[in-house]
Amino acid sequence: MKRTLTLGIILCVTLSSFAQVDTTGKENPSEKSDTIKVGGMIIIRKPGGEHDIYKKDKEGGTYHYHHHDYNRPANISTNWCIFDFGFSLYTDNTDYKSPETQTFAPGTNKDAFKLNTWKSRNINLWLFMQKLNVVQHVVNLKYGFGLELNNYYYTDNRLRFEKNQAYVVKLDSAYESLDKNKLAVDYLTVPLMINFNFTPDRGRGFGVSAGVSAGLRYSSRQKIKNNGDVDKLHDDFGLRTWKISYIGEILLGPVKLYGSYATQSMWENGLDQTPYTVGIRLSNW
């Protein structure tokens, strides 16, 4: 996960360095004039970021005062490199007495798959998100692309994943004294949300967003640590290739909260564990 996160950060820095601000119709930054003429408008800059706007009368050809504080948001805005920090958890509805489950995970029970909540972390790196104005900047469409990194830490260290076996996971007493035992599942994800911004004239407004996301699993592995030695086993372990989730966020000025809940179990069969995440989002909007 550290390598993936590092590569993502490097990519974010690269993208940000190439990001351009649309300056169409704006004054050349090298010019010192406080007056800008754009078509049939004259914009006079004032201290504090406000502007006086004068529009030309079509009939008489004279300019009339229109309004000031010309700081409306753009119809399309882009936010680069958004970070999420939260928890990766799941709802476990598995019938551990069923033949299917005991074939997939012999000898296990619900207690064996209990998670250490505080260690089961979710870190998302959205390379970019865009917001498209739909209705007066109050209703917007938000979409993007990024990485979802999920770490499931088990309270029972005996869980041992296997590949090329008749079963996928079992309880192994030799694992009982491990220092760390986790399952990591990472996705390439595209989110799509409808955003309601209740304060469109403010940079850090108040609102909510809701929608869905589609994630393609590109890596899954069990990582164990014992006496400083680290071992990783990479395999799909019967995990689903795709994850479709309901997603949402709450915008409270500078504080932004996010959450997701998958539409089905993250396993193809054997276990019925539906993943969800909650946390804090670091974003400009």
Q: pLDDT digit string (tens) for 124-149?
A: 999 999 999 999 999 999 999 999 99
Higher pLDDT, 177 or 58: 177
Closest among 203, 64, 76 to 140, alpha carbons compared: 76
Q: Dihedral through CA 153, CA 103, CA 110, CA 117, nearest 10?
A: 10
pLDDT digit string (tens) for 176-188? 999 999 999 999 9
- Cα gap 42→64, rounded to integer Å: 10
Is the pLDDT assigned to residue 1 strictly greater than 70? no
Report the alpha-carbon distance of residue 5 to residue 184 in Å, rounded.
13
- Spatial neighbors of 111 by CB under 8 A, at least 6 apart, are 156
pLDDT at 53: 62
pLDDT score of 33 more than 50: no
Q: What is the mean pLDDT of the chain?
A: 86
In sequence order, the 6+-apart residues with CB closer than 8 A to the CB of 37 are 43
Cβ-Cβ contacts under 8 Å for 176 (sequence gap 6 or more): 157, 158
More confident residue, 144 or 36: 144
Residue 148 has which token pair?
A: 């979802």
Going from N- to C-terminal start, the domains of the chain cover 35-68, 73-282
On the question of pLDDT at 22 being above 70, the answer is no
Specify the pLDDT at position 148: 98
CA distance 23 to 261: 40
Per-residue pLDDT at 285: 81
Mean pLDDT of 188-200: 96
65 vs 122, higher pLDDT:
122
Residue by residue, DSSP assigns 199-236 as: -TTSSS-EEEEEEEEEEEEEEEEEEEEETTEEEEEE--
Beta bridge partners of 141: 132, 194
E strand spans, the chain:
35-38, 41-45, 51-56, 63-68, 76-92, 121-135, 139-153, 159-161, 169-171, 180-197, 206-226, 229-234, 242-252, 255-262, 273-282
On the question of pLDDT at 69 being above 90, the answer is no
